[in-house]
Amino acid sequence: MMRKFAPQERKRKTAAVIIAFGITGGFLYPVLDKEFGDPFAFIRGITIGLLGSAFIAAFELYFSNPLNKKIGFIKKLVFKSISYTLFFIFLIIVVFALTGSIEYDTSFLGYIQSDKFKQVLFEEDAHIIILYSLVLSSAIIFTLQLSSKMGQGVLWNFITGKYHKPKEEERIFMFMDLNHSTAIAEKLGDVGYSNLLNDIFFDLTRSILNTYGEIYRYVGDEVVITWKMKNGLDNANCIRTFFLSKNALKRQREKYMTKYGFFPTFSAGYHCGKVIVGEIGDIKSQITFLGDVLYTTANIEKKCRVLGKDNLISEDLIKRISLPDIYKMKPTGTLEDESSKKIDLYTVSEIEITAL
């Protein structure tokens, strides 16, 4: 069965990891505090860890919508840490009051008004638990923000050392380049051009994530996107990315016309094949792809302007894709690669549906 909701799948997996981390942290606190003989200590710890991490996961992944918030890294970290600390203070008070009322067989309000509850809050370790919760929540927020900055899965690949030793993988690549970039840069100036690229790539991100695309890198006015073969071929995800991106920009047409005085368009080149994936660098490490596939894909994208097409796809890739009925393909030309091998090229277009 084809997968259609990549962001939701990613969010569910990320939420599960956050909640597991929260429960583990909640369980470890009474262990570190050597409260082995107090079952309520473990109940409190696990409950706070579960509810706290579930709140963070829900807010980070479903409500704050980081794609629509252009806020600096440090500001986000500080704001969220303070907000989550206030939430944890409230949560800890409620959980302590509930478990305390059960432990001492009294009503919830009665326990809140008792001297024992005041002692727990002000004389025992409630303040330490709050600090412990702040550290854990800040760690979660920092990791999520860092992962977002590094790209999908990159941080996890570094942590696990997946590409510490180079590996061969078969992947799909798309080079998508802004048309008429030189003239646009001259018209807008350096600052205006930089703002334009930031707006464009910001508006394209959701379309890429929706189709399991991974943003490999930005090179000036060009974005390089890659897919694992299965993710890119399923539901023609790699092809859909281009048209979803075009439509995403069209929806923002008025913004671009008002702000910049024109509407940006892109051309895209596609190819697939085997590449070497490895971690390089020491002071500044990154995961890179090496192979003729990237060189050929870049040349296919450049061929778009020669042939007057907004997208070109190599025969190697197009023959492996099962195109949905909303698309049609057409042979367009050839490209000669480094080994003088001729690659047949195709272009894909959306079929216009006329209402009856």
Over the chain, what is the mean pLDDT? 82
| Percent with pLDDT over 90 in the chain | 34
Residue 170's domain comprises 155-350
Residue of 261 and 123 predicted with greater confidence: 261
Evaluate whether residue 90 is within a structural domain: yes
CA distance to 71, 190, 197, 255, 314, per residue, from 259 (Å): 20, 15, 13, 6, 36
Pick the closest to residue 93 from 137, 53, 47 (CA basis). Answer: 47
* Shared-domain flag, residues 295 and 323: yes
Is the confidence at residue 127, as pLDDT, over 90? no
Evaluate whether residue 1 is within a structural domain: no
The last residue of a domain, from among 150, 183, 211: 150
* Shared-domain flag, residues 133 and 273: no
End-to-end CA distance of the chain: 31
DSSP class of 353: P
Evaluate whether residue 355 is within a structural domain: no
Q: What is the pLDDT of residue 3?
A: 45
Measured between alpha carbons, how far is 275 from 288 in angstroms, rounded to an integer?
Answer: 10
* Shared-domain flag, residues 208 and 181: yes
CA distance to 9, 86, 260, 279, 335, per residue, from 164 (Å): 27, 40, 44, 5, 35
> Which of 59-73, 76-90, 206-220 bottoms out in mean pLDDT, i.e. has the lowest?
59-73
Beta-carbon contacts of residue 198 (< 8 Å; ≥ 6 apart) = none
pTM, to two decimals? 0.69
* Shared-domain flag, residues 74 and 25: yes
Location of structure tokens 């706290």: 52
Evaluate whether residue 130 is within a structural domain: yes
Measured between alpha carbons, how far is 224 from 228 in angstroms, rounded to an integer?
Answer: 14
Is the confidence at residue 162, as pLDDT, over 70? no
Pick the closest to residue 277 from 160, 174, 163, 151 (CA basis). Answer: 163
Measured between alpha carbons, how far is 333 from 303 in angstroms, rounded to an integer?
Answer: 9
* Shared-domain flag, residues 319 and 197: yes
* Shared-domain flag, residues 195 and 328: yes
Evaluate whether residue 111 is within a structural domain: yes
The CB density around residue 171, as the number of other CB atoms within 10 Å, is 22
Measured between alpha carbons, how far is 168 from 338 in angstroms, rounded to an integer?
Answer: 20
Evaluate whether residue 356 is within a structural domain: no
Evaluate whether residue 283 is within a structural domain: yes
The last residue of a domain, from among 122, 150, 178: 150
- 2-29 pLDDT, tens digit each: 444 455 666 777 788 888 888 888 888 8
User: What mean pLDDT do residues 289-306 have?
Assistant: 92
In SS3 terms, 64-122 reads as CCHHHCCCCHHHHHHHHHHHHHHHHHHHHHHHHHHHHHHHCCCCHHHHHCCHHHHHHHH
* Shared-domain flag, residues 88 and 221: no
Is the confidence at residue 63, as pLDDT, over 90? no
* Shared-domain flag, residues 320 and 173: yes
Q: Which amino acid is at 287?
A: I
- DSSP per position, 145-169: HHHHHH-TTHHHHHHHTTTSS-EEE
Backbone torsions φ then ψ of 263, nearest 5 degrees: -110, 120
* Shared-domain flag, residues 124 and 195: no
Q: What is the pLDDT of residue 59?
A: 79
- 226-282 pLDDT, tens digit each: 999 999 999 999 999 999 999 999 999 999 999 999 999 999 999 999 999 877 655
The last residue of a domain, from among 88, 122, 150: 150
What's the number of domains the chain is made of? 2
Location of structure tokens 């990891």: 17
* Shared-domain flag, residues 162 and 308: yes
Is the confidence at residue 184, as pLDDT, over 70? yes
Evaluate whether residue 290 is within a structural domain: yes
CATH code of the domain containing 222: 3.30.70.1230
> Which of 29-38, 70-79, 321-330 bottoms out in mean pLDDT, i.e. has the lowest?
70-79
* Shared-domain flag, residues 125 and 173: no
Q: What is the pLDDT of residue 67?
A: 43
Helices (H), the chain: 6-32, 39-58, 73-103, 108-112, 115-122, 126-150, 154-160, 181-210, 229-233, 237-251, 253-260, 292-307, 315-318
* Shared-domain flag, residues 213 and 329: yes
